[in-house]
Each structure stands twice: as C-alpha cells, then as structure tokens.
C-alpha cells in the first residue's frame, strides 16, 4: 500500500494529498483517516482517484479532519490542482483540468493562484438564519457545502468555538452547516473567520465559505467582481459574472512537505 503524500497549505487550509488511483487507500476505517489528520495536524485529506468518465482528468475525494467524506472543499480543489499539475507526473500537464467530486464537476488551472471554477452555487437563502445570531446581515448559501453567514463589527471578539458549534448543530440543518463571520473593511473587501463542520473548530481559511460570503454580498448589496476575502491564513479572491454562472476562487497554494505515513 502506497502511503506517500504531499502536505499542502492553501491560504492556511492544510491537507495531506495522496495518489489513490490504485484504490488501495479507499474504504479504510474512518478512525484511520482521522488519526492521519491528527498526527499531521491538517484540516483534511485529499485523494486523486481514477477519472469517472472520459471527459475527466481525475476524481477528487475529500475527507474532513474527523475522517468523514464531504461533498467539496474549495481550497482543497486548488491544492489538488497543484499536486496534479506539479507533483503527479502521470497525468499530462495541461493549462486546465476537469475533475469530478462527490456531487459536482469542476474546472481549474494548474497555474499561479490555482483558480477553480465553483460550479455548485445553490439554495440561495433557503433558510432564514437571522434568529441564530444577532447580526445586521445574515445569509445561507450552499457553495458545494452549506454555509451560514453573519456580519459583525468586532470579528476578533466573536467566541467562534461556542457560537459556531451551536449554529453548526442546529437541527434545521440535516447534515450540519459551516459558520462564517465577516467584517467589512471597505466595499469589495472583507475579513472572515470560519467554524468548519468536520473539523469542529476554526480553520485558517475556507474557500467555499469565502465564496459564500462574497456572493451573498454581491447579490444583496450589489458588490462588483472581484471581492477580496482576508482569512487568518491569507487572502482569497472571488470573481464572478453578473448572473453568477461563472464563479472563480483563487489564492496562494504552497507545498509544505513530501513524506510518507509510518
């Protein structure tokens, strides 16, 4: 069983990425995956798997830090684009890649800032979440995974662990929800913190969360593209067209380590 991996950071979101085209790392106990995340202090695991159709270059499988598989990870998609284009020599290097996830189809580039087109944008304000936290702006949006969004005046003072956990497990969300708090710096620029389900705590970055915040402000406040989102791990940029048919997430990606599991 090949246990070679690359450890990545995508604006502070950290991952172990494996070449799992052989399938040897599939269907292990959930506790095993969780222990890999804990031992290496990462937010999740990414697996490059065989393409599911002739139109795809590969399949991306993502597991959170608790070992559970979830639908999508924006920063993870950008990290896996680096891995596929720079580290995994068996897949021809291209200007762009098409890949599948648990429920979606995505496109991305193996170039600077590794932009990925966010193709799953739905359930615009499906839930009224204003009762969950006192805020001048609240919103719900699914950007591949579900997100709640709240505007605050004092971002650093938010007790993210306590409040985020309460909202994450609110029974109206069948599979839980991610929780984002943001503060406006100026039009088209915000700071954001995220409580992420599956990690059950704050992460230094959340690409799908940044996308959700940016698009909710574009839709409700008329903000133009692109929108900058500052997260504890760095800066993300979200660009989009007027109909939100083409939405792109981009930001720095760094290879931290090449290693192997013990």
Domain range summary for the chain, segments of one domain joined by +: 4-119+252-256, 138-250
**How far is residue 225's CA from residue 187's CA, in Å, rounded to a whole number?**
11
Instruction: Confirm if 63 and 69 have CB atoms less than 8 A apart.
Output: yes
For residue 207 the two structure tokens come to 């690409």
CA distances from 258 to 3, 97, 112 (A): 11, 23, 20
What is the model's pLDDT at position 151?
98
**How far is residue 87's CA from residue 60's CA, in Å, rounded to a whole number?**
15
For residue 226 the two structure tokens come to 């692109």
The number of CA neighbours under 13 Å toward the Cβ of 171 is 0
What is the bridge-based pairing of β-strands 178-186 and 146-151? parallel
Q: The domain 138-250: what is its CATH number?
A: 3.10.310.10
80 phi and psi angles, rounded to 5 deg:
-70, -25
What is the model's pLDDT at position 252?
97
Radius of gyration, alpha carbons of the chain: 17
What is the model's pLDDT at position 1?
60
CA distances from 18 to 45, 68, 132, 255 (A): 8, 16, 38, 13
Nearest Cα residue to 13 out of 170, 205, 177: 205
What is the model's pLDDT at position 75?
98
The catalytic residues are 73, 206
206 phi and psi angles, rounded to 5 deg:
-150, 110
Nearest Cα residue to 217 out of 252, 187, 237: 187
Instruction: Confirm if 13 and 206 have CB atoms less than 8 A apart.
Output: yes
For residue 236, list its beta bridge partners: 229
What is the model's pLDDT at position 89?
77
Single pTM value for the model = 0.95
CA distances from 193 to 34, 96, 114, 167 (A): 23, 30, 22, 14
Question: What is the fold, at CATH topology level, of the domain defined by 4-119+252-256?
Answer: Diaminopimelate Epimerase; Chain A, domain 1 (3.10.310)
What is the model's pLDDT at position 256?
98
CA distances from 244 to 118, 147, 165, 220, 240 (A): 10, 17, 30, 13, 6
Q: Is 138-250 the same fold as 4-119+252-256?
A: yes
In the block, residue with structure tokens 């897949």: 91
For residue 228, list its beta bridge partners: 189, 237
Q: Which residues of the chain have pLDDT under 50?
A: none
Nearest Cα residue to 66 out of 197, 223, 240: 197
């Amino acid at each position: 069983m090949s246990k070679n991996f690359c450890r990545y950071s995508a604006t502070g979101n950290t991952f172990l990425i494996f070449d799992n085209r052989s399938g040897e790392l599939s269907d292990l106990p959930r506790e095993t995956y969780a222990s890999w995340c804990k031992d290496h202090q990462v937010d999740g695991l990414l697996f490059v798997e065989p393409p599911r159709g002739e139109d795809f270059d590969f399949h991306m499988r993502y597991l959170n830090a608790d070992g559970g598989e979830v639908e999508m990870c924006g920063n993870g998609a950008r990290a896996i684009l680096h891995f596929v284009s720079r580290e995994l020599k068996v897949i021809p290097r291209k200007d762009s890649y098409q890949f599948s996830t648990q429920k979606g189809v995505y496109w991305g580039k193996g170039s600077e800032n590794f932009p990925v087109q966010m193709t799953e944008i739905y359930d615009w304000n499906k839930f009224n979440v204003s009762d969950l936290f006192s805020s001048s702006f609240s919103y719900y949006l699914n950007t591949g995974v579900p997100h709640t969004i709240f505007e605050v005046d004092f971002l650093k003072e938010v007790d993210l662990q306590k409040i985020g956990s309460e909202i994450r497990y609110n029974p109206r969300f069948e599979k839980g929800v991610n929780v984002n708090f943001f503060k406006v710096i100026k039009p088209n620029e915000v700071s954001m913190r995220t409580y992420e389900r599956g990690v059950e705590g704050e992460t230094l970055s959340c690409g799908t969360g940044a996308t959700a915040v940016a698009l909710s402000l574009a839709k409700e406040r008329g903000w133009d593209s692109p929108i900058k989102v500052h997260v504890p791990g760095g800066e993300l940029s979200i660009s989009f067209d007027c109909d939100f048919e083409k939405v792109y997430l981009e930001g720095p990606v760094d290879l931290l380590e090449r290693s192997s599991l013990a």
